[in-house]
């Protein structure tokens, strides 16, 4: 036996209990009471919580975007992930016109083989319907474990937008194959009209990033997507939900049995659009933008009621000099913020303070993402699954500073945020990769996660 983790409190999505965990060959062998079992390594987890490694199903690593390139590559992004208890990272490579899905993904896979510090998977963002050939390619991609695809309903000028015709065809094919279609839901034409209007009035501060993409811009697209899911009876996963009106439309549809899945991110739970009035407002520019307090409260309610399915990050940080391009013109600010190292600790902090349960934090950050995206070896501490394990000290206080993060960016929207309770160790398939503030793994430790199709 390689390792025994003794005397900890194991957290599952359905309960918490004192138990020991046996690990061998990177897998969880058994959970129970093992007084007399000897293992090569013994870890005393007395006073600690033993959690499944989290899964971040929404990141943009080394992503060229809006003139910049996201500041975390595959090495630093996945290194930061494990230092925050996230052991599997999903990236969103974007198809360039004419590229096949395999070309898009294989290019990234090659980099990850050498660089990844966590396990990794891909959702391919489809931008070129290629006369319908993409539908055939989806079949092969699913066989290779790429069981989800993304449609941007925005970023028209960037050449990344999927129109409604493409979206519905991908949804129908996704349903047939057991593949999920993820959407970034905002209305591009409304954004253009509002952006033009404010620019023509000389209103170009970061506040107008929010004003040109307010609640109803997101809600329109959310409702459109829910409409397609309802009438096609085809699953849809809405990424980074940030507005109350769209959220309520999703929840109504869910209650009627429509296969709509909802993700939100910590930035929408913590901040409101007021951040765009701050001196450093440009650093908070992401799309969709943070909304008003009513939306923030509605998101928290749905998080605690069990109605939101996943909390992910949309991790896409840019360096200060890139954010500064738009100091006086919000249209020039590359969209995106950091979060890959902060999400699990943030949701666990919410649990530690009693806002949600620990079980719910684990469900949102680990077990639901695994279930929805077909990672059968991940997401819970269960015999037979990968030994992706986080030890969490509920009494350790931690304040986020750029200096104690493990990314390559030079500022963070989470600066100064205080957490009560923090991860102290992360094991990736049984190997210690994070230990009390230090990254102790090596790039290349990460494996590709081949996913199963999920029929819904
Ligand atoms: N939104 C962001 O803020 N950044 C990356 C892509 C996205 O949709
Ligand atoms: Zn997006
Ligand atoms: Zn994104």
Mean pLDDT of 57-73: 97
C-alpha 213/C-alpha 206 separation (Å) is: 12
* 301 Cα: distance to centroid of ligand 1 (angstroms): 24
Spatial contact of 207 and 191, defined as CB atoms under 8 Å apart? no
Those residues with Cβ within 8 angstroms of residue 5's Cβ, 6 or more apart along the chain or in another chain: 20, 21, 23, 43, 45, 50, 389, 391
How does 35-72 read in b/e, with b if 16+ C-beta sit within 10 Å?
A: eeeebeeebebeebbbbbbbbbbbbbbbbebbebbbbb
Instruction: Confirm or reject: Cβ of 184 under 6 Å from ligand 1.
Output: yes
Instruction: Confirm or reject: Cβ of 58 under 6 Å from ligand 1.
Output: no
β 3-12/15-24 pair status? antiparallel
The helix or strand, by DSSP H or E, that contains position 231, with its residue range, turns out to be helix 215-232
Nearest to 235 by CA among 139, 186, 185, 170: 170
369-404 residue pLDDT tens: 999 999 999 999 999 999 999 999 999 999 999 999
Instruction: Confirm or reject: Cβ of 316 under 6 Å from ligand 1.
Output: yes
CA-based end-to-end distance of the chain: 38
344-372 residue pLDDT tens: 999 999 999 999 999 999 999 999 999 99
Q: What are phi and psi of 364, to 5 degrees?
A: -70, -35
Strand partners, 392: 49, 423
* 204 Cα: distance to centroid of ligand 2 (angstroms): 22
pTM more than 0.95:
yes
Q: Which of 72, 217, 287, 339 to mutate to test the pocket of ligand 1 (most atoms within 8 A of CB)?
A: 287
Ligand nearest, relative to CA of residue 92:
3
Could you tell me the two tokens for 377? 């070896």
Instruction: Confirm or reject: Cβ of 315 under 6 Å from ligand 1.
Output: no
Length of the chain in terms of residues written: 456
Instruction: Confirm or reject: Cβ of 336 under 6 Å from ligand 1.
Output: yes
Task: List helix spans (H) across 62-121.
Answer: 74-83, 101-115
* 129 Cα: distance to centroid of ligand 1 (angstroms): 22
C-alpha 221/C-alpha 199 separation (Å) is: 23
Helices 164-177 and 133-143 cross at an angle (nearest 10°) of 30
Q: Whose CA is nearest to atom 5 of ligand 1?
A: 336
69-85 residue pLDDT tens: 999 999 999 999 999 99
* 148 Cα: distance to centroid of ligand 2 (angstroms): 15
Helix (H, G, I), strand (E, B) or coil at 315: strand
- Is pLDDT of 314 > 90? yes
Spatial contact of 430 and 387, defined as CB atoms under 8 Å apart? yes
Provide the pLDDT confidence category of residue 158 given band limits of 50, 70 and 90. confident
* 288 Cα: distance to centroid of ligand 2 (angstroms): 7
Instruction: Confirm or reject: Cβ of 286 under 6 Å from ligand 1.
Output: yes
| % of the chain surpassing 70 pLDDT | 100
Q: Is 181 exposed, middle or buried (0-12, 13-18, 19+ CB in 10 A)?
A: buried
Q: What are phi and psi of 426, to 5 degrees?
A: -130, 130
- Kindly give the number of the ligand 1 atom that is closest to the alpha carbon of 285: 3
Helices 244-255 and 293-305 cross at an angle (nearest 10°) of 30
Instruction: Confirm or reject: Cβ of 335 under 6 Å from ligand 1.
Output: yes
C-alpha 338/C-alpha 207 separation (Å) is: 19
Helix (H, G, I), strand (E, B) or coil at 187: coil
* 39 Cα: distance to centroid of ligand 2 (angstroms): 45
Q: Whose CA is nearest to atom 7 of ligand 1?
A: 287
436: left (phi over 0), alpha (psi -120 to 50) or beta: left
Instruction: Confirm or reject: Cβ of 407 under 6 Å from ligand 1.
Output: no
- How high does pLDDT run on average in the chain? 98
Ligand nearest, relative to CA of residue 185:
2
* 58 Cα: distance to centroid of ligand 3 (angstroms): 6
Instruction: Confirm or reject: Cβ of 241 under 6 Å from ligand 1.
Output: no
Helix (H, G, I), strand (E, B) or coil at 6: strand
Q: Whose CA is nearest to atom 8 of ligand 1?
A: 287
* 60 Cα: distance to centroid of ligand 3 (angstroms): 6
188-244 residue pLDDT tens: 999 999 999 999 999 999 999 999 999 999 999 999 999 999 999 999 999 999 999
* 312 Cα: distance to centroid of ligand 3 (angstroms): 10
Nearest to 260 by CA among 188, 185, 344, 313: 185
Those residues whose beta carbon sits under 5 angstroms from the ion ligand 2 are 184
Mean pLDDT of 328-336: 98
How does 124-149 read in b/e, with b if 16+ C-beta sit within 10 Å?
A: bbbbbebeeebbebbeebbebbbbbb
């Amino acid at each position: 036996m390689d390792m025994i983790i003794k005397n900890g409190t194991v957290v599952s999505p359905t309960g918490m209990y004192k138990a020991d965990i046996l690990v061998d060959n990177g897998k969880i062998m058994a959970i129970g009471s093992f007084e007399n079992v000897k293992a090569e390594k013994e870890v005393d987890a007395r006073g600690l919580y033993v959690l499944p490694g989290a899964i971040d199903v929404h990141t943009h690593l080394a992503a060229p975007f809006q003139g910049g390139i996201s500041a975390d590559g595959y090495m630093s992004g996945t290194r930061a992930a494990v230092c925050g208890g996230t052991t599997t990272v999903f990236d969103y490579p974007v198809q360039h016109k004419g590229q096949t899905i395999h070309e898009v993904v294989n290019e990234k896979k090659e980099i990850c083989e050498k660089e990844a510090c966590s396990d990794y998977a891909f959702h391919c963002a489809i931008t070129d319907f290629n006369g319908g050939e993409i539908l055939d390619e989806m079949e092969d991609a699913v066989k290779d474990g790429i069981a989800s695809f993304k449609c941007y309903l925005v970023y028209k000028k960037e050449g990344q937008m999927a129109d409604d015709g493409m979206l519905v065809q991908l949804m129908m094919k996704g349903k047939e194959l057991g593949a999920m279609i993820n959407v970034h839901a905002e209305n591009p034409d409304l954004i253009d009209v509002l952006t033009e209007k404010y620019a023509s009035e000389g209103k170009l501060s970061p506040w107008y990033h929010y004003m040109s993409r307010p609640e109803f811009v997101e809600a329109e697209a959310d409702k459109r997507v829910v409409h397609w899911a309802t009438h096609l009876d085809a699953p849809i996963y809405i990424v980074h939900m940030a507005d109350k009106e769209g959220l309520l439309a999703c929840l109504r549809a869910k209650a009627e049995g429509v296969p709509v899945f909802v993700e939100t991110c910590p930035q929408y739970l913590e901040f409101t659009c007021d951040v765009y009035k701050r001196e450093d407002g440009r650093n908070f520019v992401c799309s969709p933008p943070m909304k008003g307090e009513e939306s923030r409260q509605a998101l928290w309610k749905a998080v605690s009621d069990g109605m939101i399915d996943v909390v992910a990050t949309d991790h896409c940080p840019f360096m200060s000099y890139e954010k500064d391009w738009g100091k006086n013109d919000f249209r020039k600010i590359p969209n995106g913020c950091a979060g890959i190292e902060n999400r699990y600790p943030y949701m666990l902090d919410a649990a530690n303070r009693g806002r949600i349960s620990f079980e719910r934090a684990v469900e949102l950050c680990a077990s639901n993402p695994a279930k929805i995206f077909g990672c059968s070896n991940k997401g819970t501490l269960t015999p037979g699954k990968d030994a992706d394990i986080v030890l969490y000290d509920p009494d350790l206080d931690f304040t986020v500073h750029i200096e104690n993060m493990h990314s390559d960016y030079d500022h963070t929207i989470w600066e100064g945020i205080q957490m009560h309770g923090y991860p102290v160790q992360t094991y990736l398939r049984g190997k210690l990769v994070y230990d009390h503030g230090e990254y102790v793994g090596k790039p290349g430790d990460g494996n590709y996660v081949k996913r199963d199709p999920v029929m819904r």
